[in-house]
Amino acid sequence: MLHNIPPLLSPDLLHTLRAMGHGDEIVIADANFPATALGARCHRLDGVSATDVLEAVLCVMPLDSYVPNPALVMENVDDPDAVPPIVATFQNIINTSADNPSVLGKLERFAFYDRAKTAFAIVQTGETRLYGNIILKKGVIGT
């Protein structure tokens, strides 16, 4: 065990987060997301919510401050302007936990999948709430 590192971050996931560079992206995905099919690196955290994983990742990873939307979610297919409850929770976590709070950007479903294909890694969670998917762009630390 290590001090100040959430225990749900597995050794493999910590290695991935540390290996990522500025501008690399990681997807935190719900249980329905085609993570293995889309991602070369897929970490599984079955039984863990996407919101818990988001909070844990933001404890150790900075968000990119050089782009307008360092965090992106998937639009609701039937109503692009709708804000699913989990997305509102994601925004609250970004507001309270991120080093660089920002407004969540949105991508259409298939654009989100295309973006996920280029991500450094995907974390498949046990999240069952619909639209429990978020892409985070890694920022920098230091001055």
Residue closest to 135 by CA, chosen among 48, 1, 33: 33
Active site residue 131: no
**Rounded distance between C-alpha atoms, residue 129 and residue 99, angstroms:** 26
Instruction: Identify the sign of the CA torsion 108, 95, 85, 43.
Output: positive
**φ, ψ of residue 50 in degrees (nearest 5):** -65, -35
The tokens describing 82, both together, are 């709708």
Active-site choice (24, 30, 43, 64): 64
**Rounded distance between C-alpha atoms, residue 22 and residue 45, angstroms:** 24
**Rounded distance between C-alpha atoms, residue 111 and residue 142, angstroms:** 32
Active site residue 30: no
Active-site choice (12, 15, 22, 66): 22
Active site residue 66: no
Catalytic residues: 22, 64, 113
